[in-house]
Structure 1
Amino acid sequence: MEQMYVTLIQTDKPMYKPGQIGLEESGSHFIEFTDHQTVEFVNLDSYYQKGIPFTGMLKARTLKREPRKNEKVYLVVNVDEVDTNITLETDANGIARFTLDTSEWNDMVSLTGKFSLEDGDDMFVALNWLFPFYSESNSFLKVQTVAEDLLCSTKQSVSVEYTIDKNELDPESDHLSFFYILMSKGEIITNKEHKVDVPNLPSGPILQGSFNITFSVNVNLVPVATLLVYAIFPDGEVAADRARYRVPVCFDNKVQLEFTENNVRPGGNVNLDVKADAGSLCSVRSVDKGLLLLQEHKTNEILSRVMGYYEYMFEINRRGFPYTIEDFEPYPCLEDAPVPPNRAKRSIKRAPWYQSEADVYSLFKSSNLKVFTNTRIRKPVTCELPEYTRRFSIKDGVGAADRKLDSPSTAPASKEHPVRKFFPETWLYDLVSVGPQGKKSLNLTAPHSITEWVTDAFCVGNSGFGEVHDIRMKTFQPYFIDLLLPYSVVQKEHFTLTALVYNYLNHCVLVEVALTIPPDFGEPRTDIEKSACICGQETASFTWNITATKLGTIPFKVTSRALHVEGDCSDVVLDPETKFKHDAVQKTILVKPSGVEVDKTHTSLLCPTGDSVRGEISLVLPDNVVEGSGHAHVTVLGDIMGNIISNLGNLLQLPTGCGEQNMALFAPNVYVLEYLESAKALTPEIKDKVLNYLTTGYQRQLMFKHDNGAYSAFGKRDEEGNTWLTAMVVRCFSKAQKTVFIDEKHIQDAIKWLGSHQLDNGCFRSVGKLFNNGLKGAVDDEMAISAYITVALLEHGTVHNSSLVENALRCLKDAANTVNNTYNEAILAYAFTLSGDKDLRQHMLDELEKDVIEEGGSKHWSEQWSGAVEISSYVLLALLSGDEVTKKDLELSSNIISWVIKQQNPWGGFYSTQDTVVAVHALSKYARATYHEKRDVALTVHSGLIGYQNRFHVDDSNRLLLQRAPLPDELGTYIITATGTGCVYVQGHLKYHTHPAESFQHFTLKVTTEPDNCTAEAERSFEIHMAVSYSGNRATTNMGIIDVYHVSGFAPVARSLKLLEKKENVKRTEVTDEKMSIYLEELTHETETFSIVVKQETPVSNLQPANVIVYDYYDPRERAEAEYHAPCAGN
């Protein structure tokens, strides 16, 4: 086809099915033909300045994204509901330029680009709305835009036109000052004044003219330069304009990203063309623009490594500045809104209001500039709202428009309309190979969000590096719903569900919306309908008050239909053939039980050898359980590593924001990869996941490196490096080097720093705080750290200073006969295994045998702290890492394994970081030594008391598959029966909530709020105070964590967090949707107080208490719990 058409053909002729000659069907069929030719606006402003000619460009392209040369396109200008059609013709680049007279424009204007003016040809068009730019005196500036990218190492001259009301000028001044700011990447590059002489003002009321601004185009302006020009008049009025210019860096590898459509309906199909030099591998990422409000992409992160600078910037998007610096104001037009007689005045909560007008303030704001001024830069708010809008000002929807669309003649068809429920923040995050042709087309389905998607890519090939970023595509439809609700609430709380209905059509619509209440979720359980009249470019809100009764992730669906009407809906004529516009949105809310979550795990290892073997799992709920919160399931695996492989990203259910915790998540991936490769069980999916974790973990760990090569838990925030963590990094990086790129320099830097702390006797001096002070007293610090560092050096194998290892081994040998604690004996046994010293290895193992604890056929060491897992795992490594693993070694290892796996949490990890790293290493060694064993096991889990039974089958083909089944609410003892040959691992997992226990055996914890009574201010914000001290039998704790769970609808204020982080003992804070975690270096017997200010983000009533938990990171069993109430919880 020559032009873009969507054609619908209806036929009543017989239709034949392929391959079934003689069979026919008849009926009405629609066949759609589409030629994906596109027309789009290029570099178009969203505002116009009355009296200043408006210039713009339309670009026409073919299906292959090539420019349509000498093609007729049409521009439809809609002013005051009157269309003006303008015929344009494209040039050699497919661009048609136009200039419009704005002197008669007063209101919003729509511009539509088309290939045809035929009626109904409006499916694929370019649409842009222009808003009148506000100026008191109709004084305007116009900064020239440039369609092409600016070239590096050139001078760019930009014309600035001005139209100034002479009444705004200072009669005593002979010049007019214009100020301009040139910005890029969040920095002001140039800030200058340009004076225009006006000695003798020409006749007439208007001063018009122009001048040029010239600036150098260099790397400082990459990738986008913003030029803002403004003038301040004596009476306080400001005239301004700004323009943006793209400044690409010239890489040899030319990378291009191009969507086949720049505007796509939600859920629609679109192609993304990725182009680069032949054979290049590209990383493509596309995220919701709204996500950049929280953290802007470091779009030139790789450029910074090449050019030696680093930038971190944010972008202002549709929601405005970050809330810490946003100018929140109450909506001035709702001050006098009536309060329904059945509502308390203070229950009417006003949402933050963002003024979004085309004025000088918006130019500064969109340029990332925060303005402090006494000038007039904002458009005044006009409160003359139509009557139908006022009827919807009240939050609960009372007074909604009376017309409903429920007559039989106009009821919508019974067919289901698509429901929008796919709202990702990150849409694309893929590796794409462009192949020998240098091009790859990705067939995509657009998400359901109404937003703009920001897409970037970088590519590496034979020609080197190249990148492209900030390629944008909108998912939009002119009539849509947005659903606002909290992320989570606690059972019994009341929350407000708000549906915002947007009408970007050019006419009014009569709208009906319906909320579908999920089954068993409060009353009423049927659709709740409301209606309204919404005219073009307007929005209406509909609210429902909901009580959270059912636990879990609950979906809410709002559907709507809209009828096109003429006028203001006062005289609607209904027609049976009326076609409605539809939209439906579904979002979820998490309803949580009150109290503190508790996880209990029971693990059994069953190894039948032909006959059946039995085991049992006992899962019992305590008396103080929160009703309805208990849930249990059973998992079955045929491989000891299966649970770890299934939960690589979640082995630790603890905060993971410091350097050691990052390594604890990094290291297991190496051991998993080694095991799966040896077992020939590595799938592409698991390999991709493991490599992603390793690459991300490696890059993240470098954030904790000191300039001298050492590492510490919080990087340069710590005064000095830490020998334990630095040795741990050497161990982990050494292992990962075989799989992903790890710069050897980072490892050698760490080894060099460790070597600088080696003593004359070959041992090492401990620097920095011990990870786990449970080692102190029971363990010789110098010997423990010396053994740990020696193991790291031996595992790495390549040490430039050979005497470093020789002297370290001499230290260990000298101490071998005097060591008298199990931790040092275990790690020495492993060290001597690695060094090949069989005599000393056996000596250590013999000493360990004297202290072994035997329980029901299993063996382990130490019962005093979580180091029992670490000690037992080092013994396993000593048994399984030698040149030859004997049958006796395997038998003893099996006895140890049967105890170790019982200490696993439901996600495959253990108590803390060190024991998880060492235990996963040991488990992978054991699995590699025994993986050749054939499995064929039938397993039954049953309980005769409650009539429950479930069967599982495990063999070699599914040994890594985690099989899971729910257990009934009537918990108790379950009998496990296994028959066949091989070993299976059965784990029962019970999760429930209890109210905080008043136990201060390990910590004292008191939580209060300020104010402690309900006030108008406390409804919106209050302060949480926590008084904490350690009450255990040590002098101090290890690193401590305080988890402060959010009251529903509230979140911490960023400024409050910054103040908290200034406290000497606070190392870091982290905020998630559920809670805030405070990292403490340690806690002593002296009471410390910590305070946080929280602010309401979403209205929730009947607030339930929230929890505060303090615990020792390295032994989470040492903990204290308390709860706090929002001051207005009972209101």
Structure 2
Amino acid sequence: MMSVTYFHFFNGLNKHYQLKETIDGSAAITFDVPYSKRLGDHTYSYYDEYGPSEYVDISVNVTDVTGLTYNSSARVSIVMNKYNLEFLQHPQIIKPSMTFTAQLKLSTYDSQPLTAEEQSGSVRLAVTQSKFSPWTWTWDNNESLAPRMMNDTPSFSSIYDIPVENIDLPVTADGVMSFQIHLSDSVATLNIEARFKDAVQGLQLYRSYSSPSSSYIQLHRDSEPQVGQPLYLTLESSFNLAEFHYLVMSRGRVVDAGTVHSSSFSLNTNHSWTPEACVMVYHTLPDGEIVNDALQVTFTQVLRNTVSLSWSQDHAKPADSVFLSVSVSEAGSLLGILVVDKAALDSSKDNGITEKTVLEEFMSYSREMTHTDYSSMKMGDPYSIFMTCGVTVLTDAMPNQEIDQFFPAFRADVYRNQLDSEAFQEPRKRKDFPETWIWLDANVSNSVSDSFQFTVPDSLTSWVAFAIVMSENLGLGISAPAELTVFRDFFVSLNLPAFLIRGELLLLEVNLFNYMDVDLEVMVVVAESWMFEFVSPDNGGFSLDNVRKASVLSNNITTLLFPIRATALGEIPISVKATSVYSSDWVYKTILVKPEGLEQSFTQTLFLEFQLNQKTLTRTMSFSFPPNVVPDSQRASISAVGDILGPSIDNLDSLVEMPYGCGEQNMIHFAPNIYVLQYMRSTKQSDEQTRNKAMSSMMEAYERELSYQRIDGSFSAFGDSDDSGSTWLSAFVLRCFLQAQDFISIDRMVMQRMAYWLLAHQNSDGSFNEPGRVIHTELQGGLDGPVSLTAYVLIALLEDAEYRSAYEGSISSAVSYLTSRLAQGISSNYSLSLVTYALSLANSTAAPSALTELLNRALIVDGVPTWRSPANVLYNSWQPSSSDIEISAYVLLAMHRLRLMDEGFTLMKWLSKQRNHQGGYGSTQDTVMALHALSIYATFSNAESIDLSITVNGASGAAATFNIDRYNYLLQQSQDLPIEAEEEVDIEVVAEGKGFALFQLSVFYNVMNLRTSLRRRDMHTNEAFDLYIDVMDNEEFSVNLYICFRLRENQGLRQTGMAILDVGLLSGFSLAQNGVQLDDIVRRVETPSGRVILYLDTVTTVERCSEISTIQEFKVTNIQDAVVMIYDYYETQRRTVRSYTSETRRDMSVCSLCGPDCGQCGVQDIWATDRTTSINQHPLLALSLTTALIILLSIYN
């Protein structure tokens, strides 16, 4: 089935067609596009020279016979004429008395060559020179337009046009015609109208600047630019010009400069000019006036280095041996090869590196480095022309600058942008189905060619190979893609969901593809497994019928249906063998079967530290599973490491198991790496693997983070789609970038623009304001909100000595504000901890008293000072809240600054024990700040003296032994721990030796009896949110969820910061296209496997609802509950969990599920169907089934 949608931009038309027809490779669809009278009637002005495009957007969704859906889209332009006329190579402005040189291109709408008849014609130009333009008037004091340029006549009659000049241009073979127009001394506007048959195109240009002395120069290019060849130029002038100077800028550098004494001259080009150069000429008149002109020179871009790829054959079968040959231009080249599945490549938003994308990036880089803005040329004045080439002017001469009076906002925008197998042969089992096949690098050292041998994977697809080469002399080269098609005339295809829940029933679809010239009688066997059972379609009972026989016609597809029920947890094997007289295939895949309920985890950490003369330490650890634990879901692991940062270093890429799709959350992959690298540098560690991993992660996160920078230099959660930048997030990013510049390259301009933006939001009293949304709940801070924000920004500005000096006044003002607010009293422990650390960084004399006040507020638990955030109801958890972790981290950092390290070690040990099994904490901010603090204290751990062994004993004896010494103390050693009792975990930990270690027990399990969603409010619950799910499941292939949520009053908050609505999907379902609508609350949607994640801007006490549309991709019945969770991103214990199900699909029988595809549902003989053609059932099938089964069993054996 194919679904077609088209959208017409200009009319707002949105039409949808749904067709149900057989498509064999391709299909033609015809439909009418309503005609818009506005097509062709729009008049374009100078400032609208490109106009709104007329086009139709077409999106197509195709569902194949296996039930998989594919989509594609295209934009189709609407043309009103057969011919296109386009003006090329013309100046952006006109200059009086100069020669206007340009080109006109005639082409057909479909880019076909011009016919002989068309070439025999001519294009008529109607040229009008006018003495009036918008630039010849200005606003006077009475706010009315008045003349500002002298046009040689004082009367209004001077604005009349100069007589029209007609020029006929013979049509050339390539359709490109050159022409010249001599401009009058008084011209202000030039209008050119070109006509060829019914095609009309106009060009309107203005004189935007008048020289006080009527002195003008204009640069003409007399040859096409080609690297390594002279570029011939002519300079035309309105006065006697004995000499002039030239300057050539490219990629932000001066690549050529000099003085010329002739109007015709040439410049020698080279690769430094590419991809684009700005050639500028200038002359200073005796009175100091500067006259100048600039010319953009664009070179046809090619990469000097070349690399080519070729496969030894165009087509192959799975497991074939193939060769991939590569040729380079220079011996000693470094080569990288990537081979990916074409299907994965087509579905990716980023379709890899190609020569085109690299060249486009070169051009963008060139213009960025040169600060090129060719729109400045339209101003026409000498200053703007200098600006066009990115030249800064320091002179005592007069580079006049024209102010745009007619459109005064134009110039401000320019400035801001600157800143800103054969018969009966045993088939080979196909089980290797990667998306990326090859990823390698090699050094082509002794020659310019090499060949690599590979074994073809099992996927039946097209593999696309790319190569990238680097060499010392030729630089970068990128190959054209080389394609290898892997195909079989007969094969099996399985459609499997990513996962099932134990107990669910899956209608396993086995698709048989026959591209042979003969019809096939195929016997299919699905191998039995103890991890699942076959189910009879009539009554849902047990069945041994895992064998089917089907007729598969030539060039056709047949689908067989096998109902199976998952009975065990883990990866269950699905092995399907299809055998015929002519060909066979065998496919092996797995499905992940998850336990029912909601997954929970618990982590307990021991800080094993030997006292003086102590040789042995013994500790016990235990955990009791709750009564509602899901059977067989329990598992546990133990680990040990001899470094405080060890658990975090081992999991740098997965510290927090949360989504990270906004500007702040992305930093969880950036900031922690900084502190690991700082720690390694301080302790002189040379672990290159860890270092490279950290730097690679930082660079990737840095590139992603830049996508959240706004045009004004600030950062926000979703970049330019937000209404404003965020002071808090900008400060966080600035702090991290300043800390990271010792390890990776950070664009200084990015940081400077951030700092400028931040300082623009500092109030006169020294505090900072927040124009955007504070997505961190604790930083909202009520009355202490400005205090928290100011301290947070101040911490960022104090990170770098250069910034301390450059913004000394602003920093001093912020310190004074915080000091005065400290004297008045700060009620929030969170705000006070931020202020304490900020003042300690500023070396303020008020810092010790702030720390004393904070310590006086501490609650001492087991000898450890701890702090609690304001009382509110949080989700029951073994971990402290995220804000409590943050407070402790800020206290530790302040103690370090105030040289109170000894007093901080107890708190440091407590903080190191609060990490989860991944080495992180609850969210981004607490993880970042805690690891920052721990990295500083870890430098004093004396890990070099570690030499100990740890023995773990369970109920049945020794379970594991870990040995830690000075050589492996950074390595986190881990082992699964057998669950010996379903009710609890009890272990004894015995350490012997010297030094210290962190030992961690992590327990995972699922719980049942989740609260289902009911539309009622329980006033006695301690949950943070109300959460309701209405399930609408009366459609055949879809389930719609209507989810409502609100913040409960028991939280003492009017609203949260950013929140996450994590919606688990029913097995076999996925999010429909456009299944969630973005609005002022739902800012972003992500779809990891089996889930839909909604980023909520905030959750308030006012109920809001969102609708989620899901579609059935795989046929599953006996459906288990799915889980929906809503939580505050920066305080994850502020959460509510609900479950829901589809009662219709939970109680659905197998026959109801498969519908018309089960033509013999309830008959226990043969259950086969062909979705595209009817199958003539084999008359001897019932008689031959037993014999076939015996044959196939012998094949398996």
With the length of structure 2 as denominator, give the TM-score of the two structures: 0.60
Question: What is the correspondence of 1:887-966 to structure 2 with a 5 Å cutoff?
Answer: 889=901, 891-944=902-955, 949-966=959-976
Q: State the alpha-carbon separation in 1 of the partners of residues 887 and 174 from structure 2.
A: 62
Q: 1:818 to 1:711 in 2, by over 3 A?
A: same
- 2:64 is matched with none
Q: 1:520 to 1:466 in 2, by over 3 A?
A: closer
Q: State the alpha-carbon separation in 1 of the partners of residues 474 and 593 from structure 2.
A: 53
Question: What is the correspondence of 1:495-894 to structure 2 with a 5 Å cutoff?
Answer: 495-507=506-518, 510-522=521-533, 528-534=546-552, 536-564=554-582, 582-609=584-611, 610-777=614-781, 780-799=784-803, 800-815=806-821, 817-818=823-824, 820=826, 821-836=828-843, 839-862=845-868, 864=870, 865-880=881-896, 889=901, 891-894=902-905
CA contact 2:855–2:865 (8 Å) conserved in 1:
no
CA contact 2:943–2:966 (8 Å) conserved in 1:
no
Q: State the alpha-carbon separation in 2 of the partners of residues 997 and 135 from structure 1.
A: 52
- 1:363 is matched with none
- 1:83 is matched with none
Instruction: Provide structure 2 residue ranges, at least 5 long, that are not aligned to the other structure.
Output: 1-23, 30-71, 84-109, 115-172, 176-298, 367-421, 535-541, 871-880, 1013-1020, 1149-1197
Q: 1:217 to 1:874 in 2, by over 3 A?
A: farther
Match status 1:295 vs 2:367: no
- 1:992 is matched with 1005
Task: Return 485-494 or 1115-1124, whichever deviates more.
Answer: 1115-1124
CA contact 2:616–2:991 (8 Å) conserved in 1:
yes
Post-superposition shift, 1:445?
Answer: 3.8
- 2:990 is matched with 977
Post-superposition shift, 1:674?
Answer: 2.9
Deviations, residues 766-825 of structure 1 (Å, cap 9, x unaligned): 332223223444772222222222221222333354544444444445555455454344
Task: Return 814-823 or 891-900, whichever deviates more.
Answer: 814-823
Q: State the alpha-carbon separation in 2 of the partners of residues 1037 and 520 from structure 1.
A: 45
- 1:74 is matched with none
Amino acid at match of 1:1024: L
Q: 1:942 to 1:790 in 2, by over 3 A?
A: same
Q: State the alpha-carbon separation in 2 of the partners of residues 844 and 212 from structure 1.
A: 74
Deviations, residues 628-652 of structure 1 (Å, cap 9, x unaligned): 2222222222222222222222211
Deviations, residues 574-598 of structure 1 (Å, cap 9, x unaligned): xxxxxxx553221111111222111
Amino acid at match of 1:288: D
Q: State the alpha-carbon separation in 2 of the partners of residues 779 and 217 from structure 1.
A: 72
Post-superposition shift, 1:1111?
Answer: 1.4
Counterpart pick for 1:1064 among 1080, 1095, 1103: 1080
- 2:1093 is matched with 1077
- 2:1030 is matched with 1008
- 1:1112 is matched with 1128
Q: 1:744 to 1:269 in 2, by over 3 A?
A: farther
Question: What is the correspondence of 1:215-226 to structure 2 with a 5 Å cutoff?
Answer: none
CA contact 1:599–1:990 (8 Å) conserved in 2:
yes
Post-superposition shift, 1:1067?
Answer: 1.1
Post-superposition shift, 1:914?
Answer: 0.8
Q: State the alpha-carbon separation in 1 of the partners of residues 321 and 739 from structure 2.
A: 44
Q: State the alpha-carbon separation in 2 of the partners of residues 545 and 1042 from structure 1.
A: 34
- 2:407 is matched with none
Post-superposition shift, 1:627?
Answer: 2.3
Larger-Rg structure? 2
Amino acid at match of 2:605: T
Amino acid at match of 2:866: H
Post-superposition shift, 1:558?
Answer: 1.8
Post-superposition shift, 1:1122?
Answer: 1.7
- 1:327 is matched with none
Query: Which secondary structure state, in structure 2, belongs to the residue aligned with residue 668 of structure 1?
Result: helix
Deviations, residues 429-465 of structure 1 (Å, cap 9, x unaligned): 5555555856565554433211112333445555344
Counterpart pick for 2:1072 among 1045, 1053, 1058: 1053
CA contact 1:779–1:824 (8 Å) conserved in 2:
no
Match status 1:446 vs 2:451: no
Query: Which secondary structure state, in structure 1, belongs to the residue aligned with residue 430 of structure 2?
Result: coil
Q: State the alpha-carbon separation in 1 of the partners of residues 311 and 643 from structure 2.
A: 45
Q: 1:957 to 1:1087 in 2, by over 3 A?
A: same
Amino acid at match of 1:266: P
- 1:373 is matched with none
Post-superposition shift, 1:498?
Answer: 2.3
CA contact 1:1000–1:1120 (8 Å) conserved in 2:
no
Counterpart pick for 1:1041 among 1055, 1060, 1065: 1060
Query: Which secondary structure state, in structure 2, belongs to the residue aligned with residue 972 of structure 1?
Result: strand
Question: What is the correspondence of 1:19-34 to structure 2 with a 5 Å cutoff?
Answer: none
CA contact 2:531–2:569 (8 Å) conserved in 1:
no
Q: State the alpha-carbon separation in 1 of the partners of residues 763 and 28 from structure 2.
A: 76
Q: 1:309 to 1:421 in 2, by over 3 A?
A: farther
CA contact 2:460–2:488 (8 Å) conserved in 1:
yes
Amino acid at match of 1:699: E
Deviations, residues 61-111 of structure 1 (Å, cap 9, x unaligned): xxxxxxxxxxxxxxxxxxxxxxxxxxxxxxxxxxxxxxxxxxxxxxxxxxx
Deviations, residues 570-625 of structure 1 (Å, cap 9, x unaligned): xxxxxxxxxxx553221111111222111111111111244222323222111112
Q: 1:853 to 1:612 in 2, by over 3 A?
A: farther
Post-superposition shift, 1:1099?
Answer: 0.6
Amino acid at match of 2:883: G
With the length of structure 1 as denominator, give the TM-score of the two structures: 0.64
CA contact 2:531–2:572 (8 Å) conserved in 1:
no
Query: Which secondary structure state, in structure 1, belongs to the residue aligned with residue 932 of structure 2?
Result: helix
Post-superposition shift, 1:282?
Answer: 5.5
CA contact 1:940–1:950 (8 Å) conserved in 2:
yes
Deviations, residues 177-233 of structure 1 (Å, cap 9, x unaligned): xxxxxxx995557968879xxxxxxxxxxxxxxx99228999xxxxxxxxxxxxxxx
Post-superposition shift, 1:546?
Answer: 0.6
Deviations, residues 938-967 of structure 1 (Å, cap 9, x unaligned): 1122234x6563322222222232322223
Amino acid at match of 2:837: Y
Post-superposition shift, 1:472?
Answer: 1.7
Amino acid at match of 1:771: I
Q: 1:1106 to 1:134 in 2, by over 3 A?
A: closer
CA contact 1:495–1:1101 (8 Å) conserved in 2:
yes
Deviations, residues 383-418 of structure 1 (Å, cap 9, x unaligned): xxxxxxxxxxxxxxxxxxxxxx9xxxx9767xxx64
Q: 1:282 to 1:828 in 2, by over 3 A?
A: farther
Q: 1:1054 to 1:697 in 2, by over 3 A?
A: same
CA contact 1:829–1:841 (8 Å) conserved in 2:
yes
CA contact 2:882–2:1132 (8 Å) conserved in 1:
no
Tell me how large the CA RMSD over aligned residues is: 3.5
Q: 1:411 to 1:703 in 2, by over 3 A?
A: closer
Q: Name the % identity.
A: 30
Q: State the alpha-carbon separation in 2 of the partners of residues 542 and 1125 from structure 1.
A: 28
Question: What is the correspondence of 1:56-95 to structure 2 with a 5 Å cutoff?
Answer: none
Match status 1:456 vs 2:466: yes
CA contact 2:638–2:977 (8 Å) conserved in 1:
yes
